[in-house]
Structures are given as structure tokens and as C-alpha cells.
Amino acid sequence: MTLQFNHLAILSAAAWLGACAPEAREPDISVERGERLYFQKCAVCHGNDATGAGVASIGLGAPPPDLTTLSAQNRGVYPRTFVMSVVDGFNRRTHPESAMPEFGNEDLGPAVQVEDGGLSTPIPSDLIALAAYLESIQR
């Protein structure tokens, strides 16, 4: 009797796990993932080469900035936190009518704990991947 009950418990646990499996997503913070996301979400405005001349860049209130010179404009230091906060929408841009969408409302993947100056902060994995891709294309 007990055995049978255990069996059932295991079966239903397996069914429950199976139902959850499609939801579970492994965090992927690779440059390759960031590149794929960039071409899906950003290239239309910032351009395939990220210099700002995407097909949708014409007629925006402010032109999409060149994303390959972020380090150069920051005394050679890649501004990772700034990049992530702009994409997330947390860092509201100087233009109130900013054409730059807030991606923080979208599903940006499972969060990853990132250590920064002794603080551990959960950051969505797609944000980290996008920032890693942009870092890889700095001139």
C-alpha cells in the first residue's frame, strides 16, 4: 500500500516537472546570444554595424547614437551599467520623447546574480548578453 502511494507521488511529481519544463530557460549571457538579440531588437534603429543608421532611424526625434564608440566616449572604459540601464529603461534618457524603447517591460530572461563592488544584484540574462555583445564591438 505504502509502496503504491509512493509510486503515485513520484509519477505526479514527474508530470508536474514535465509541465514546468517548457517554462524553464537556462540563463544565456554569451556574446552570441547578445548578437542574436541585437539583430532582433536593436539593429532596425542602431544599424547592422551599430553605428546608428538603421532603416528605422530616419525621422526619429533624436538619431540613434553610434554604439561602437561608447568606450571611446567614456575615457576608454566600457560603460556596462549605463548600457544596461538605458536598454532596461531604468535610466530615462534626456529626451522626454525618447524614441529608444524601454525593454525592461519585456521578458529579458532569467535573472543572474552579478557581483559589483561587493553588492550582488539580480540582472536579467538578456540584458547582460546584449551589454556583452556591445562591449565586443567597441572600436
Tell me the three cell numbers of residue 108: 529579458
| Burial class (CB within 10 angstroms; exposed 0-12, middle 13-18, buried 19+) of 12 | exposed
Q: Does position 129 bind ligand HEC by CB under 6 A?
A: no
- Nearest distance, CB of residue 27 and ligand HEC, angstroms: 17
Residue position matching grid coordinates 517554462: 23
Are residues 12 and 107 in contact, defined by beta-carbon separation less than 8 angstroms?
A: no
Identified binder of ligand HEC from the candidate list 35, 80, 88, 103, rule CB under 6 A: 103
Q: Is residue 87 near ligand HEC by the rule CB under 6 A? A: yes
Q: Which of 10, 14, 55, 56 binds ligand HEC (CB under 6 A)?
A: 56
Q: Which residues in the 11-50 window bind ligand HEC by CB under 6 A?
A: 41-42, 44-46
- Is 35 within 8 Å of 50 (Cβ atoms)? no
Residues contributing to the site for ligand HEC (CB under 6 A)? 41-42, 44-46, 56, 60, 62, 64-65, 67, 70, 83, 86-87, 93, 95, 98-101, 103, 130
